[in-house]
Amino acid sequence: MLFSLVFVSFTFSQTIESCDRINTGIVLSIYYTTYCRFCQAYMPEMEKMAYNASLKGVPITVQRINCEVCSCDFDNIKGYPTTILRENGIEIARKSGKMECSEVSNFLQQNLCETNGHLVGKNNISTQPAFVMPSNVVQNTQSCNIPMIQNPPMANVGNYIKSSC
């Protein structure tokens, strides 16, 4: 009897490579070029953040936009990398330059909040929510609070991600 073992590796990623704007949910769009060394260093950080955020129930899609292939003029990109946070296609915030995972965490914490069980952009509290928070998030009726997680206990959106960086 002959047995053989086959090892299969699956890579899970919440990262999408696309020129088209994603108009649903919370999207972190990364504008880059392949020749930019800061972009090359930034991409693995973003992939790790996206993966860890998805494991913890943070509903963020990371979109990579290669400005050598895609037209980035419409989004007024001045340098690389540029990160734009959107909710349902509407820009919430932007930052130019490479960020470490902790800086991305702070960027998200400054610009996202939980209101009545929905994750929304702080500037868009009155709009339709981009995502209904998972059931392990404490419901809060105040106007804008960072999500509090019951299990595992983490303080806010920033700590969701920072804890896994």
N-terminal to C-terminal alpha carbon distance within the chain? 46
User: Does the residue 8 lie in any domain?
Assistant: no
pLDDT tens string 113-150: 876 666 777 765 444 444 444 444 333 333 343 343 33
User: Does the residue 113 lie in any domain?
Assistant: yes
CATH code: domain of residue 79: 3.40.30.10
- One-letter amino acid identity for 139? Q
Backbone torsion region of residue 125, taken as left when φ is above 0, otherwise alpha when ψ lies between -120 and 50, otherwise beta: alpha
pLDDT tens string 41-95: 998 888 877 777 777 777 788 899 999 999 998 899 999 999 999 999 999 999 9
The range of the structural domain enclosing residue 34 comes to 15-162
- One-letter amino acid identity for 42? Y
Q: What is the mean pLDDT of the chain?
A: 71
User: Does the residue 118 lie in any domain?
Assistant: yes
